[in-house]
Amino acid sequence: MIDLATKYMGLVLKNPIIVSSSSLTHSAEGVKRCADAGASAVVLKSLFEEQINADVKALADSSVSSYHSEEWDYIQRMGLDMNADEYLKIIEESKKVTDIPVIASLNCISSDLWTDFAKYIEAAGADALELNIAVMPRQFDEDPDKIEQHIYNIISNVKKNISIPVAAKLGPYFTSMPRVAKGARKAGASALVLFNRFYQTDIDIKELSHTSKNKYSTPAEMSNTLRWISLLYQQIGCSLVGNTGIHDGEAVIKQLLVGARAVEICSTLFVNGMGQIQVMLDDIQKWMQDKGYETVDDFRGKMSFKNSKKPDYFERQQYIKAIVGID
């Protein structure tokens, strides 16, 4: 009897497939569709700090010509109030229509906006909270230590007010991923979602306008996640979740083999439809049967850096071997 259950940040999931934050999870109806298709949990569409800031800036610009930082704080909170009720309602309704864990999601730039709001998210019934931390350093003289500290402050400020688990969804661009992973854990993250996929910017040379491209990921984008989950597995004391480029059952198996607790997916569902969840689950089950595994824990982490017989496959050495043409 094959059992696909996995534990993630203390939540018991019936299988490792979570639908990631996206328009698929923007409403209770969307959440129900994911649950009916076999997902073990959902991450709701994020409430975006950037959107709130854009809304309040438009509001402020139309009424006053300049404002002080305290005024900005005040109108930013007004913007949050304008968007918050609807978000809390989605959490409450999602909990009514499904019995799978519902993970709320906040897009965070500043370290204090969400401190109080996180409490309402918990009270609305969310099982956990994922922080989509989208700090984009643009200043030439910004101290890297301070940038990292800012990320940790976001996590600890939110975590200190709530008891539900908090996951940090991070991008892949840091000088030292192990250091940031450890710092996020110390700040209170129970899990790391690796990695966030950033908006793909582009330029239309005919129209001379800014555009975006490749809204959806491709399977070729998964290897960075595979590398870092493998390297961090059992090193930092928190759950790791694979995200970006996971499109089929084989990809999920690989993520579990390097040590992931679960995966988050959305592009493959936009491209192949919600039925893809069941296809992936069937493929995982069949592979487990062929290999003689009964539970996910029977093989989780088997191919991680720590447990692998060839750990250098996840390091630069293989790249050097490949480019100089030696085996």
Interface positions with ligand FMN (CB under 6 A): 20-23, 45-46, 105, 132, 169, 196-197, 215-217, 243-246, 265-267
Residue 75's identity, in one-letter code, is I
Nearest to ligand FMN of 215, 291 (CB atom):
215
To ligand FMN, the closest distance from the beta carbon of 289 in angstroms equals: 26
Nearest to ligand FMN of 56, 131 (CB atom):
131
Nearest to ligand FMN of 60, 266 (CB atom):
266
To ligand FMN, the closest distance from the beta carbon of 104 in angstroms equals: 11
Scanning the chain, the segments in alpha helix (DSSP H) are 28-36, 49-63, 69-97, 117-123, 144-159, 177-187, 223-232, 249-258, 267-272, 276-291, 316-324
Residue 156's identity, in one-letter code, is S
To ligand FMN, the closest distance from the beta carbon of 4 in angstroms equals: 19
| Nearest CA-CA partner of 182 in 108, 234, 247, 260 | 234
Nearby residues of 243 by Cβ (< 8 Å), 6 or more positions away: 20, 169, 193, 194, 195, 196, 197, 225, 263, 264, 265
**Length, in residues, of the chain:** 327
Burial of 322 (0-12, 13-18, 19+ CB in 10 A): exposed
To ligand FMN, the closest distance from the beta carbon of 243 in angstroms equals: 5
Buried b or exposed e, range 7-41, using 16+ CB within 10 angstroms: ebbebebbbbbbbbbbebbebbebbbbbbebbbbb
Nearest to ligand FMN of 13, 60 (CB atom):
13
Terminal Cα distance for the chain, rounded: 41
To ligand FMN, the closest distance from the beta carbon of 48 in angstroms equals: 7
Nearest to ligand FMN of 197, 300 (CB atom):
197
To ligand FMN, the closest distance from the beta carbon of 141 in angstroms equals: 29
- Radius of gyration in angstroms for the set of CA atoms belonging to the chain, rounded to a whole number: 21
To ligand FMN, the closest distance from the beta carbon of 70 in angstroms equals: 29
Scanning 6-98, the segments in alpha helix (DSSP H) are 28-36, 49-63, 69-97
